[in-house]
Structure 1
Amino acid sequence: MKNNKFNSLEDLKSLIPADYVAEKESEEETVEELENQHIEAHLSKKGRGGKTVTLLKGIKGDDQQIKTLAKEIKTFLGVGGSLKDGEIIIQGDYREKIIDFLVNKGHKVKRVGG
Structure 2
Amino acid sequence: MADNDWKSRLGMVYSTDPDFEYRTDERPETETLPPARQQLRVWLDRRQRAGKVVTLVRGFVGRGADLADLARLLKTRCGVGGAAKEGEIVIQGDHRDRVVEILTKAGYGCKKAGS
Instruction: Normalising by structure 1, report the TM-score.
Output: 0.69
Q: Deviations over 1:54-96 (max 9, x none)?
A: 0000001100000000001100111000112010000001000
| 1:18 aligned residue | none
1:44 equivalent in structure 2? 45
**1:93-112 CA distance string (max 9 Å, x none):** 10000000000011111111
> Which position in structure 1 is the counterpart of 2:70?
69
The runs of 5 or more residues in structure 2 that have no matched partner are: 1-31
SS of the residue aligned with 2:83? strand
Task: State the structure with more CA Rg.
Answer: 1
1:106, 1:46 → 2: CA distance? 30
The reply to whether residue 107 of structure 1 matches residue 108 of structure 2 is: yes
Distance (whole Å) between structure 1 residues aligned to residue 70 and residue 34 of structure 2: 8
TM-score by length of 2: 0.68
| Map of 2:35 onto structure 1 | 35
Equivalent residue for 1:83?
A: 84
| Matched residue type, 2:71 | A
Residue 95 (structure 2) aligns with: 94
Pairs aligned (count): 83
Query: Which runs of 4 or more aligned residues in structure 1 lie more than 3 Å from their structure 2 counterparts after TM superposition?
Result: none
Residues 34-61 of structure 1, C-alpha deviations (whole Å, 9 max, x = no match):
5321100011000000000000000011
2:11 corresponds in structure 1 to: none
Tell me if 1:56 matches 2:50. Answer: no
**Identity of matched residues, %:** 37
Gap regions ≥5 residues in structure 1: 1-31
